[in-house]
């Protein structure tokens, strides 16, 4: 069973969202997603300042067997992308909830958070999807 | 012998499985307005014997003229071994097989091609070819727009000195992706792009600058200044080059302080005959940092489980079988057979041989230029240094002069008047290493006669 921390929020496209104290959110892909992708060899992150709509493709993760789009979980502006991933894409596999984070976003509308899944709901979703 | 392996029964079974009545039904989702309808200009069928005869008659119409036309396709000597080897059964397949690694020979050849092209252009990587030079430039433009994430606008500078047909092809391919091509005028004295003409543009307003070297007029551009200017203004540099010229000229990877970012062009001069216009092949090379935006196949050298060297396709996540609709392009191996010929051609000539071809072509064109410009009514148009093409202006209608030369069995050059009317009666000419001093003398004599006998030649043409 993959690791699904209880203090994060999730999407059905396997991104996680963490609320930060400064009003921004940090976004990454889940442990389950990195496991499906296999060894990540390249990550393309968006430029800071880019405006995203919820559900819009905003990053690409390339593994030895696939290339997957990452979708913005909320509408907002990209504040920062994880520059470390350019040289260390394997962080996405090693620490998907830590050093493997993808980007920080300043949400346009905090109410959109309510559309995200909590850990229990995401866990149920993953279990259902894998059947 | 049927070349389609499906029998009528196979087709019926497959249609039944997907629930379609007939094959046409599979195309129902294409709106009627977009269908080609009946191809009225295409004859219904012809037997092999008829086709062979027709094609032989058409081929005979080409004759064996003395060719001084360049303009993107060049007559070079091709050692007999090149096509003898290329058409061997082991190579005679245009594609990498679907299990690419099963064909180590094909992959080794592509690897060697890519190594040679990267070395010629001074780039880190090369793909396995594109359709031709024009579509290679279009792919380079698309690639630059994807790669340059600092540029807020999808605008690319396209100098007027880039091959006019390349510009047209690029426009057709990129216009529906909202990429704007901004034409930069050329210097009427030098025939080159003046770096100062770019000064009015601001950084961040465009994604890339295309730099042709040599340019369509055969003239050498100020590549260092243009490259540095583009980089200082946040634009990538796309070099569109003649690969033979690179045996003499500085590789684009060394232009300016940082070098070009993407290099493309037509590979035809590397062992591909003119063949009435094709097929040719395009090439595309780039710096390592842009490799994920590059279309097409890339072959890498690796070690197998036993530690033995082998070849494998690499960075395939860019490609359509993995990235589907978001792939960089639908380009695959493309002109594999022509790449085979080019690789063998380059291997046979070696760097020294290619340099001799380039130097000889340059010298012949200078000799031709000096010879014809000594005639009354002929002048050189641009003063800047050139590679192996030059523009002359003739006293009289350029088309008529060329037709008069053709009547003397000489293809004397490319008529620039439809593309560059401002140059007057201008002709682009080229003398590669295949031309002898006698050929140049013959050309000069024929041109002198054509200029003085222009009017009768034209009447004769209309009376036919």
Q: Mean pLDDT throughout B314-321?
A: 80
B292 and A44 within 8 Å at the Cβ level: the answer is: yes
Name the phi and psi angles at B20, rounded to 5: -110, 145
Q: Mean pLDDT throughout B154-169?
A: 97
From the list B358, B433, B338, the residue with the least C-alpha distance to B82 is B338
Q: Is the ipTM of this complex over 0.90?
A: no
Alpha-carbon distance B323 to nearest alpha carbon in chain A (angstroms):
6
Q: CA separation (Å) from B252 to A65, B123, B262, B298, B450?
A: 34, 8, 9, 20, 40
- On whether any CB of chain A is under 8 Å from the CB of B323, the answer is yes
Map residue A78 onto helix, strand or coil: strand
For the record, the structure tokens of B75 come out as: 């007559």
Q: Is the pLDDT of residue A21 over 70?
A: yes
Q: Which residues of B touch A66 (CB under 8 A)?
A: 317, 322
Q: Is the pLDDT of residue B458 over 80?
A: no
Q: Which residues of B touch A41 (CB under 8 A)?
A: 317
Distance CA B161, CA B208 (A): 16
pLDDT at A1: 61
A44 and B322 within 8 Å at the Cβ level: the answer is: no
Mutate one of B300, B302, B317, B321 to test the A interface: name it (highest A CB count within 10 A): B317
- Picking from B149, B150, B317, the nearest residue to A62 by CB comes out as B317
Q: Which residues of A touch B150 (CB under 8 A)?
A: 47
Q: Mean pLDDT throughout A10-37?
A: 95
For the record, the structure tokens of B266 come out as: 């037509």
List, for residues B251-270, the tens digit of each pLDDT value.
Answer: 999 999 999 999 999 999 99
pLDDT at B96: 64
CB distance A110 to A89 below 8 Å: no
The confidence band for B456, taking pLDDT boundaries of 50, 70 and 90, is very low
B318 and A63 within 8 Å at the Cβ level: the answer is: no
Distance CA A39, CA A94 (A): 10
Q: Which residues of B touch A57 (CB under 8 A)?
A: 326
Place of tokens 């704007």: B180
Q: Is the pLDDT of residue B97 over 70?
A: no
B150 and A47 within 8 Å at the Cβ level: the answer is: yes
CB distance B382 to B365 below 8 Å: no
For the record, the structure tokens of B403 come out as: 């037709």
Is the pTM of the predicted complex or chain greater than 0.80?
Answer: yes
Map residue A63 onto helix, strand or coil: strand
Q: Mean pLDDT throughout B132-156?
A: 90
B326 and A47 within 8 Å at the Cβ level: the answer is: no
pLDDT at A4: 95
The confidence band for B463, taking pLDDT boundaries of 50, 70 and 90, is very low
pLDDT at B276: 83
Which residue in chain B is spatially nearest to A42 when comparing CA positions? B292
Map residue B177 onto helix, strand or coil: helix
Residues β-bridged to residue B211: B239
Eight-state DSSP code of residue B221 = P
Q: CA separation (Å) from B294 to A89, B124, B239, B397, B409?
A: 20, 12, 15, 45, 44
- Sheet containing strand A9-10, strands side by side: A9-10, A15-19, A25-29, A103-107, A76-81, A51-52
């Amino acid at each position: 069973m993959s690791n699904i921390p209880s203090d994060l929020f999730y999407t059905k496209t396997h991104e996680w969202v963490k609320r930060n104290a400064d009003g921004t959110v940090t976004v990454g892909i889940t442990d389950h997603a990195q496991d499906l992708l296999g060894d990540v060899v390249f990550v393309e992150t968006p430029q800071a300042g880019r405006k995203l709509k919820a559900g819009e493709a905003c990053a690409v993760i390339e593994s030895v067997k696939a290339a997957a789009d990452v979708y913005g979980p909320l509408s907002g502006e990209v504040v920062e992308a994880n520059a470390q991933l350019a040289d260390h894409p394997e962080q996405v596999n090693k620490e998907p909830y830590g050093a493997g984070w993808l980007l920080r976003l300043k949400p346009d509308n905090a109410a959109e958070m309510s559309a995200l899944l909590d850990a229990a709901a995401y866990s149920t979703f993953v279990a259902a999807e894998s059947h | 012998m049927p070349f389609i392996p499906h029998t009528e029964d196979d087709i019926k079974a497959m249609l039944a499985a997907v629930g379609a009545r007939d094959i046409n039904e599979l195309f129902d989702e294409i709106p009627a307005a977009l269908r080609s309808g009946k191809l009225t200009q295409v004859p219904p069928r012809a037997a092999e014997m008829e086709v062979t005869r027709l094609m032989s008659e058409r081929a005979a119409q080409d004759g064996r003229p003395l060719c001084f036309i360049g303009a993107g396709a060049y007559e070079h000597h091709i050692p007999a071994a090149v096509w003898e080897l290329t058409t061997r059964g082991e190579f005679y397949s245009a594609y990498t097989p679907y299990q690419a690694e099963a064909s180590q020979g094909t992959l080794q050849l592509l690897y060697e091609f890519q190594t040679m092209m990267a070395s010629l252009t001074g780039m880190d990587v090369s793909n396995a070819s594109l359709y031709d030079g024009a579509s290679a430039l279009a792919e380079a433009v698309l690639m630059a727009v994807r790669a340059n994430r600092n540029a807020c606008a999808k605008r690319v500078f396209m100098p007027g000195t880039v091959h006019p047909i390349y510009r047209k092809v690029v426009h057709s391919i990129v216009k529906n992706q909202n990429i704007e091509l901004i034409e930069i005028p050329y210097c009427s004295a030098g025939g080159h792009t003046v770096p100062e003409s770019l000064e009015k543009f601001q950084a961040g307003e465009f994604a890339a600058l295309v730099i042709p070297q040599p340019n369509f007029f055969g003239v050498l551009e100020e590549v260092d200044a243009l490259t540095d200017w583009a980089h200082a203004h946040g634009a990538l540099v796309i070099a569109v080059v003649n690969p033979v010229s690179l045996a003499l000229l500085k590789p684009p990877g060394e232009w300016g302080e940082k070098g070009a970012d993407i290099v493309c062009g037509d590979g035809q001069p590397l062992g591909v005959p003119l063949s009435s216009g094709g097929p040719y092949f395009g090439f595309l090379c780039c710096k390592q940092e842009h490799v994920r935006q590059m279309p097409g196949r890339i072959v890498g050298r690796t070690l197998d489980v036993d530690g033995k060297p082998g070849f494998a396709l690499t960075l395939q996540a860019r490609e359509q079988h993995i990235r589907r609709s978001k792939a960089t392009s639908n380009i695959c191996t493309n002109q594999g057979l022509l790449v085979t010929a080019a690789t063998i051609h380059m291997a046979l000539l070696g760097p020294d041989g290619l340099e001799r071809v380039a130097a000889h072509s340059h010298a012949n064109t200078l000799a031709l230029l000096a010879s014809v410009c000594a005639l009354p009514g002929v002048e050189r148009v641009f003063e800047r240094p050139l590679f192996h093409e030059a523009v002359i202006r003739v006293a009289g209608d350029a088309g008529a002069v060329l037709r008069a030369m053709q009547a003397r069995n000489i293809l004397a050059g490319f008529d620039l008047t439809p593309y560059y009317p401002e140059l007057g009666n201008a002709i682009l000419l080229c003398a590669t290493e295949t031309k002898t001093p006698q050929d140049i003398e013959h050309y000069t004599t024929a041109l002198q006669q054509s200029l003085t006998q222009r009017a009768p030649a034209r009447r004769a043409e209309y009376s036919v």
